[in-house]
Amino acid sequence: MGISIKKEERKMRGFTLIEVLLVIGIAAVVFTFSAPFALNFYRTQMVEDTRSNVIDALQRARHNSVLQKNDSAFGVTMSEVADSFVLFQGANYASRDDTQDEIFSVISEISFTGLTDLVFAKLTGLPDDTGTTTISYGNVSRGILVDAAGMIYKVDVLNGSEVVTPTYTITFDANGGTGSMSDQTIEEGASANLTVNSFTRTSYTFAGWATSTDGVVAYADSASYTMGSANVTLYAKWTAEPATWTVDSLTYDNRKKITISNTNVDATLTDFPLLVFIDGDTDIGGISNADGFDHRFTDSDGTTLLKYERESFAIASGAATGKYWVKVPSVSTSAPTDIYIYYRNTDTADGADKTNVWNTDFKGVYHFEDATSSTGTNNGTFIGDASSTSGGKLDNGMISDGRSDGMSVGTTIGSTNNNFTISMWVKRTSGGAYQPYHFIFSDYGTRYTFYIDDGLSVMRSYLYTQTPETLNGSVNIGIGEWHYVVASKSSTFGYRTYIDGNLEVDSSANTGNLDLANNQAYWGGDLWGGANDYSLTGIMDEARFSNIRSVEWIHFEYHNMADVGNDLTWGAEE
């Protein structure tokens, strides 16, 4: 028995004619009533936009005239060019400089009536005419009023009466920057976003706007601004960008200027090994590596590397202390000399190069951390009880107790004939313990000695010839006092001694040679021994043996070392 299934048929029914006519009727009614509103909205928007643009042109024309830009007046015409208004430069449109024309197009339906041509006077900004400009499109009109003072206002009609809405100008001042920005006009009481900043300043970042040249930031870039009842000027505020320098192929973000006073520089000095003492500096201590390897010194140009010796460096509680000898190419007598120290906290190879700080004129330079010479040659050997001590004038020194003590350099210095300078800081800690003299330098061949007479408390020099000659100083060398003592012997001027940077003995004596090729140089005493032991009872620091040094060199050398702050001024961190 089969089963029969009947399929249900469905038919799609369309709109009836009545329904279609009803929809068309509704649409016609909606269009009839909405079209005028849409058209009116469009016209209003076009007129408002045009008025804002014209006001902006008028404000710029007046601003340019007040500033006497290009030594000219400026104006605006709405009658000379079809479907346009023009901001021009000149006393009138006919005589204008047409290369400066700014032409603004408007749609052909817009019309201008009333005050359609206006020029603002140079400097005063006063208009050559006053009145109202009416901007129209169909049944929509808006006005602009210019008064005798050159003030520009919006004019609208409300309930049959004119309503004047003043507009004011924001002038943007670069305040140290460069570039230009157009004035911005805003109605009184209205708010608008400030024009995006377009000023620039090398090595600075724009921070915002202030209401005075030295004021704080009051408005961020593009911030909303509510106009008051007067024109205003906003001043760009700038933040200095961190400087970056490339020195010795390394990048540095921090440096300090060191200024060398010329007060005690009596003649320009060449290749002078300057003592630079870092005294509890928290800027350097807060950034430098603990070993000081990152430090670099440059000439005043900030790039030319200077050779330096790092005698000591340490950081304690964030404060850096160190002693450096920097070879300055030229220390001027006529003006202060600038150098720079650079520092960073990046692991860096050591930049010190001590042997090249001391040129070939120096035969031996002894800081007395030990008995070695910073010249890389002519190292010494402590004799007897002499040793390094932390109680030196600048840092470490050599201490001796007055009996067979000192430092021998041997015969490596070589012959100096009649031309040499020896210098050192010296302090007697007591009277002569064993003998009446404190020898501070001698040659073992007894041809020359430089010593303190314990009884007279003065420096004396003994020049050996067949008839020995003794030269006596006059400055008192008191017990417990540091003094910088220098002796020079030259085939040109004879023999001189200096105390604390000042010439004390100037003698024509020029007999005998200092023969260090065959005799030992001996600092702090002699090697006679026995009853003739005249070693220093005290401390010696910064001993040097060199070729002839000038009076001016010795004078500044003393002042540079006499006090850690002498003759150097540190600038702020950059």
Q: How far apart are CA 300 and CA 379, in angstroms?
A: 34
Q: Which of 73-87, 118-132, 502-516 has the lowest mean pLDDT?
A: 502-516
CATH number of 36-158: 3.55.40.10
133-149 exposure pattern, b = at least 16 Cβ within 10 A, e = fewer: bbbbbeebbbbbbbeee
Asked whether the predicted pLDDT for residue 281 surpasses 90, the reply is yes
Which of the 8 DSSP states describes residue 82? Answer: T
Q: How many residues does the chain have?
A: 574
362-546: which CATH number, 3.30.1340.10, 3.30.930.10, 3.40.50.450, 2.60.120.200? 2.60.120.200
Answer yes or no: pTM beyond 0.85.
no
Long-range contacts of 468-475 (CB under 8 A, 24+ apart): 469/509, 469/511, 471/495, 471/497, 471/505, 471/507, 471/509, 472/505, 473/497, 473/499, 473/504, 473/505, 474/504, 475/499, 475/500, 475/504
Asked whether the predicted pLDDT for residue 463 surpasses 60, the reply is no
Asked whether the predicted pLDDT for residue 30 surpasses 80, the reply is no
Q: How far apart are CA 398 and CA 538, in angstroms?
A: 8
The pLDDT of 380-392, averaged and rounded, is 89
Q: How far apart are CA 151 and CA 366, in angstroms?
A: 81
160-241: which CATH number, 3.40.50.261, 2.30.110.10, 3.90.1410.10, 2.60.40.4270? 2.60.40.4270
Q: Which of 15-24, 140-149, 382-391 has the lowest mean pLDDT?
A: 15-24
The pLDDT of 370-375, averaged and rounded, is 94
- Confidence bin at 524 (pLDDT 50/70/90): confident
Asked whether the predicted pLDDT for residue 159 surpasses 60, the reply is no
Asked whether the predicted pLDDT for residue 153 surpasses 90, the reply is no
Comparing C-alpha atoms, which of 187, 199, 197 is closest to residue 225?
187
Which of the 8 DSSP states describes residue 97? Answer: -
Asked whether the predicted pLDDT for residue 359 surpasses 80, the reply is yes
Comparing C-alpha atoms, which of 437, 450, 502, 505 is closest to residue 474?
505
Q: How far apart are CA 61 and CA 89, in angstroms?
A: 8
- What is the three-class DSSP state of 355? helix
What is the longest distance spanned by two Cα atoms in the chain? 163
Q: Higher confidence at residue 491 or residue 216?
A: 216
Asked whether the predicted pLDDT for residue 474 surpasses 60, the reply is yes
Asked whether the predicted pLDDT for residue 509 surpasses 80, the reply is no
Asked whether the predicted pLDDT for residue 32 surpasses 50, the reply is yes
Q: Which of 62-76, 384-398, 515-529 has the lowest mean pLDDT?
A: 515-529
- Confidence bin at 36 (pLDDT 50/70/90): low
Output the pLDDT for position 557: 96
Q: How far apart are CA 232 and CA 330, in angstroms?
A: 53
Output the pLDDT for position 522: 78
Output the pLDDT for position 530: 45
Secondary structure of 470-508 as H, E, C letters: EEECCCCCCCCCEEEEEEEEECCCEEEEEECCEEEEEEC
Q: Is residue 240 within 8 Å of 203, Cβ to Cβ? A: yes
Output the pLDDT for position 3: 42
pLDDT above 70 coverage of the chain, percent: 82
The per-residue DSSP string of 368-384 comes to SSSS--TTSS---EEET
- Whether 36-158 and 362-546 share one fold: the answer is no
For the chain, give the mean pLDDT.
Answer: 86
| CATH 2.60.40 fits domain 245-353 | yes
Spans of all domains in the chain: 36-158, 160-241, 245-353, 362-546
